[in-house]
Amino acid sequence: MLSADRKKNRVTLLDVARRANVSRATASLVIRKSPLVGAETRQRVEEAIQALGYVYNMGAARMRAERSRTVGVVVPNLTNPFFGELLSGIEALIDSAGMVVIVANSGDLVERQDLVMRRMREHGVDGVILCPAADTEPAFLDRIAEWELPLVQTLRHISEEIDYAGADYAAGMRQAVDYLASLDHETIAFAVHGPMHSAYHERIEGFRDAMRSLGLNANMILRVPDQLAQIADATHLLFEQTEQPTAVICFNDVIALGLSGGLYDRGLQVGRNFSLIGFDDVTDAEALRPRLTSVSTAPVAIGETAAQLLLDRLADPARPPRRVVQETQLRVRQSCGPATV
């Protein structure tokens, strides 16, 4: 039904943009009569609109909103509490807009993400907030753009032409490194897991840059298992390095929880004999003992921002894409102490 309607009107803004050899965002700006587009570009886009017979339906997204009033959210993992907190932020805003959130799990697999996104479309959701699976190709997001399904990227970004809500992960890493350096730590490990994606690279590069700028070894990057239950047993990796680290920064709080247990098992006191910093600041960070010092990426606030971007997009499908990157904040608790060598 939906797809039949859409097939009739197959020419999309993306087709126009391609023909005019501009970005979709630029084509949007032309349609919105933005003064930001130069005369030559404007003319090229207008010619493409003519040539393809593109009809821009300003009210289409709003009509869709009236039809289903449902927002889809696709995340890679529902067992990490981080995503639960992100969802609660999304739901708070979407609820107050009188809409309903439905969630699907991509399992961080592109094939499954593909299936889930097609289902979301078939179910007629008004728009989707997507944390793209690792290895998502830009072509995948282009296809969604062809569906004219309003989309917001969150936590990870693939395309510059699509709204994005995230946090400044690189700056967060710098806060963690600077804090440990202020406690005289010089040999600092970084524990990572999971697949590689923009947030992964931003965190690793943030760690490396911050360490290098202090003249410290930026290469002590350890991979630990993905499953929480197996992380404690990987703690030995910290003690098999050529230089002995006195602190570890974790890619997320799940790793911090796991290593915290592993350090305890070795008779070490976190915050005294070994320093540990988490990342994300999920609720568990405050509940652990010793309380976990963590870089807050404010998942609830990111969720709210992503939802707001989607609501704005539904209200105005042609607005230029926006990137909202929140500042992170170091929450100092009990899991770090002065370096003791």
Binding site for its own copies (CB under 8 A): 1, 68-70, 72, 78-81, 84-85, 87-88, 91, 95, 100-105, 107, 112, 115-116, 119-120, 122-125, 227-229, 231-232, 257-258, 260-261, 264-265, 283-284, 286-289, 291
d(CA 176, CA 170): 10
Q: What's the min distance (Å) between Cβ of 229 and its own copies?
A: 5
User: Which residue lies nearer to its own copies by CB, 222 or 285?
Assistant: 285
Structure tokens at 50: 């003519």
Q: What's the min distance (Å) between Cβ of 283 and its own copies?
A: 5
d(CA 231, CA 208): 23
Identify whether the C-beta of residue 336 lies closer than 8 Å to the C-beta of residue 276: yes
User: Which residue lies nearer to its own copies by CB, 120 or 330?
Assistant: 120
d(CA 318, CA 312): 10
Q: DSSP secondary-structure letter at 274?
A: B
User: Which residue lies nearer to its own copies by CB, 1 or 55?
Assistant: 1
Q: What's the min distance (Å) between Cβ of 56 and its own copies?
A: 26
d(CA 69, CA 73): 13
Q: Exposed/middle/buried for 240, CB within 10 Å: 0-12, 13-18, 19+?
A: exposed
Report which residue type is found at 165: A
Using DSSP, state whether 137 is helix, strand or coil.
Answer: coil
Apex CA 166: angle with CA 248 and CA 302, to 5°? 100
Q: What's the min distance (Å) between Cβ of 117 and its own copies?
A: 10
User: Which residue lies nearer to its own copies by CB, 262 or 321?
Assistant: 262
Q: What's the min distance (Å) between Cβ of 264 and its own copies?
A: 4
User: Which residue lies nearer to its own copies by CB, 80 or 198?
Assistant: 80
The pairing of strands 151-154 and 127-130 is parallel
User: Which residue lies nearer to its own copies by CB, 290 or 320?
Assistant: 290
Q: What's the min distance (Å) between Cβ of 70 and its own copies?
A: 6
